[in-house]
Amino acid sequence: DAGITQSPRYKITETGRQVTLMCHQTWSHSYMFWYRQDLGHGLRLIYYSAAADITDKGEVPDGYVVSRSKTENFPLTLESATRSQTSVYFCASSGVGGIQPQHFGDGTRLSIL
């Protein structure tokens, strides 16, 4: 029962670099989500996807790009990393139907120097 896995767990990079965070789920859930978690802000939605090839912006999308070519994968790319994007990133998924909880991965801790 793999559930939802994120990789890498930890990443250090430099400003201006491109970095991609991976998210994979084995439940065939339709919905997938990316959040960032920062002290004082809680969980903030970056992007979400209702199905393969359907993505939409969340609360804080600037500086991020997502794609969803396959139902099970939802990578998040920082095209040119900035220090303000240092954070813990969580991926989540949920089934279709409206009344279902989101299930989270264990996060990627990203530090941008």
Partner 1 sequence: GESVGLHLPTLSVQEGDNSIINCAYSNSASDYFIWYKQESGKGPQFIIDIRSNMDKRQGQRVTVLLNKTVKHLSLQIAATQPGDSAVYFCAEKGGNNRLAFGKGNQVVVIP
Q: Indicate the residue among 23 and 81 with the shorter CB distance to partner 1.
A: 23
Sites of contact with partner 1 (CB under 8 A): 31, 33, 37, 39-40, 42-43, 45, 48, 50, 56, 58, 88, 90, 92, 94, 96, 98-107, 109
Least Å distance between CB 113 and partner 1?
17
> How does DSSP classify residue 53?
T
Return the structure tokens found at 29.
């859930």
> How does DSSP classify residue 85?
G
Q: Indicate the residue among 69 and 99 with the shorter CB distance to partner 1.
A: 99
Cβ-based burial of 49 (10 A; exposed 0-12, middle 13-18, buried ≥19):
buried
